[in-house]
Every structure is written in structure tokens, then in C-alpha cells.
Amino acid sequence: MDLKNIHSVYFIGIGGIGMSALARYFRFIDIPVSGYDKTETPLTKELVKTGISIHYVDDIGLVSKPFLNAEKTLIVYTPAVAESHSEYQYFRKHGFVIKKRSEVLGLITKESFCFAVAGTHGKTTTSSILAHLLKETGTPLTAFLGGISEDFNSNFLLEGTDFSVVEADEFDRSFLRLSPNVACITSMDADHLDIYGNPDELTASFIEFTKRIKPGGKLFVRKGLPLEGVTYGIEDDSDFCIRNIKIEQGTYIFDLVAPNIVLNGVKFSKPGRHNLLNGLVAFAMAIEAGSPPDRLASALGTFKGVQRRFSYKINTSGFVFIDDYAHHPTEIDAVFDAVKEMHPNRKVLAVFQPHLFSRTRDFGDEFARSLSRFDNVLLLEIYPAREIPIAGIDSEWLLGKMTNTNKQRVKKEDLLTEIQRQNPEVLITMGAGDIGLEIERIKNELTYENEME
């Protein structure tokens, strides 16, 4: 099906962060959109406000008639949807054109100059920074983001169609559907072993992704990765490099050195060396759009961030509350390093909700080691997402692997009470599951308490 012939689009799993960005795109270009998701969330509520009809029961009888025309309706689904899903089965049996989100993303962006951000960590922050830089320098772009940009208050940006910014997701090998002009790879740590089986297969998939770059295109790779490309790093001999870092009032100030470019006193306010690297490669990629380096450097200083990526919910002299999407040991380490750099000598309570039974099993020792670095740890039960339980793998099992004795498992309904009892100087919530739905409640209660003191 050519996208020009689409009259309506139906999404199975419309509430996902990537799916909802696509839904916003089709709605923006005045194509009717409808969809299913298993639960109502703030994201689905926002979609409904734009005129999109959504239901929450797997029942083809709830799909409105205009979307039941196989010749005119495109069905988009997420790999997280089970094969047994009855609506999915109906569309398959009745001759509908059915495509994964990544396939549709590839079709939309193939006619534009496409920037693709790949890596097991950092995709959303890097693509959000890149979209912000391009927008600030007047580049006509469309961006599909895997998180809510605090600069746009959305996971979708449409400022034009000449350029596009997308996340190249390694899950389910989705990124092999893209054909970017410029790409970056931020990291290649083992993950999604339920899909790949072993780390070597994951690495092979990233190598295959690099072959998807269009002739004459360019690949940026973090220094140290086993790939050929334009390198970027911190205090090393990379092609693009950050040097002479200082911290003033929670803001990084540094020199940015690139081929034929030296920019002094560049500012960036997102904590963590990993975020400095994300900002650096976004800067490097944006130059490929013809954006002036000095204006890009200024725009780095105004980047606000992405929701749930080291997001300050409360930041006072007496108490700090940070929320982060971290769900892999490497990401937890990055959060720990960032909080210790920005808030040294303060006691930190970490709340973590493991995501997926298989990931918890595959990286149990690594999770235990990363979490044990914090002063105190509260562990929620594993968020299953698309998986069924694995015998013997639960939060109690993970807790037993941790060397830190200041640890305990806690039920979600008791979480706020336990946080209040511990009365930490710095609180960090982490995880990719539904812990994100608890953040505003925790923030509101703790803000009230701090105001009463």
C-alpha cells in the first residue's frame, strides 16, 4: 500500500510512545485515526483530545465501520501485541494491509533527509536534542520521538518534511526497516536477549543497520565501539570531542572541538556524562543539515530535556527528587554517576521497578551490582510488559543478589509511605514500567510535605 492511497489508519497498541507519535502524524495530515490499547493512560487521553477514537477491550465489534474497509485502511501494530490478539487475527484473515510501526516509519521518512539515532541507550534523549537543535536553527523537519520532549511537550514535531528525525530501535530488529542518510550509534550493550539470544547476534544486527545508510551518507559512533565511522567522545582523540569540563550551578560548561571547529564555553544543563555525549553527537549530526555550528552550540544550552530522563521533579536545597526511565544496568550506573556528580555527599534512596522477567534474569548479577551502589534501595515487583512470569525470577530473587544491606522489597501501594518513612535527601525513581504513573502522586505529596516544613 502506497501511503498516498491511505484513507484511514487503525493502530493496535496506539498508546505506546512510538505508536502515539505515528498516530499524531496521520491525524496532523487529516487522515482519520482510531485504535486499541489495553489500558487508558495520560498518552491515550491526549490522543483522544485530538479527535482519535480509542477503546480498551480487544473486540472487533468496537472498531467503527469506516476502519473495517480492507482496501482503504492501514493497520499498524506494535511487536508487543501478541499473535493471539483477536483484532489482529481478524485483520489478518480479512486481507488488510498490516505493517509494523517501524515499517510505516520507514515509508514516511524515505523521501526525506533522514537522521536515525540507534543504540541500546540514549536514543530518545539524543533524538530529542537533535530535533531541538534543528528546530532552533530553522530546519524544516518532522520528528518521531520515543519520549515526551520538554521543549515541545510532545513526542511528535512537524515543522516541515524536508528532514526527519527518528529513533532506530534495535528491538525486534525494527531499525532494519529504515534507510537513513545520517545515523549514529550511541551504545551496543547486550539487551533484548529474548529476541537475539546472545550479544553477538545483537552486535551483528547493529552492523547490518550500518549497511542501511544511503550511499554518500554518514555514520557517527561513540568512541570505543567496534564500528567504523566518525567518532565522538569526552577528553579523547575523537573527531568530535568535549574538553575542559566545568560544572557551575548544575550546568556543564566545556569546549567543543570538531573538524575545523573549536567552540569555547558551550553550556549544557542535562546532568550526566552520558547526556553530554548525547548532546555532542546530536550537534555533530545537525551540522549535516547545514546548520551553523555557533547557533547549534547556543541551542545546546537551551535544551530542557525529556520526561523521565533524569527529570528533576523537586529540586530544593533540602530535598531532590529525580525520575528516570533507566531499566538496564548500564543506564542505572549512568544515573548513579550523574547524581553523585551533581549532588555529592548526599544520601540517595533509589526506587527501582525491574522491566521484563527475561531482562531481570539475563542481567541479574549486573542489576544487583548497579543497584547496590546506592545508599538505600526499594525494589518494586517486576513489570511483566509483554511477558509471562518465569519460575524463580522475581524481585525477591534480585534482592537476594544485592550486597547492599539497606534494601527491601515494597508493594506499589506502600511505596509512598516507605519513602516518607526513610525521609531521603535525594530520591530517585527508575524503571520503564508503570512506575511512571506514580511519579506525579509522589511529587505532589512530597512537595506538600516540604512546604509544610
pLDDT at 173: 79
Convert the pLDDT of each residue in 203-231 to its tens digit: 888 999 999 999 999 999 999 999 999 99
Residue with cell 506502600: 414
Q: State mean pLDDT over 90-114.
A: 92
Q: Please give the angle made by the CA atoms of 139, 301 and 17, to the nearest 5 degrees.
A: 65
Helical (H) or strand (E) element with 125: helix 123-136
Whether the CB-CB separation of 320 and 310 falls below 8 Å is answered with: no
Residues forming the annotated binding site for ATP? 119-125
Going along the chain from its start, the domains and CATH numbers come out as 3-100 (3.40.50.720), 110-300 (3.40.1190.10), 311-452 (3.90.190.20)
Q: Please give the angle made by the CA atoms of 228, 232 and 237, to the nearest 5 degrees.
A: 90
Distance from C-alpha of 383 to C-alpha of 379, rounded to nearest angstrom = 11
pLDDT at 290: 94
**Residue 115: DSSP 8-state:** E
Question: Does the pTM exceed 0.85?
Answer: yes
pLDDT for residue 94 is more than 90: yes
Residues forming the annotated binding site? 119-125
Distance from C-alpha of 301 to C-alpha of 281, rounded to nearest angstrom = 15
Convert the pLDDT of each residue in 380-411 to its tens digit: 999 998 789 999 999 999 999 999 999 999 99
Convert the pLDDT of each residue in 420-443 to its tens digit: 999 999 999 999 999 998 999 999
Convert the pLDDT of each residue in 103-141 to its tens digit: 899 889 988 999 999 998 899 999 999 999 999 999 999
Whether the CB-CB separation of 434 and 393 falls below 8 Å is answered with: no
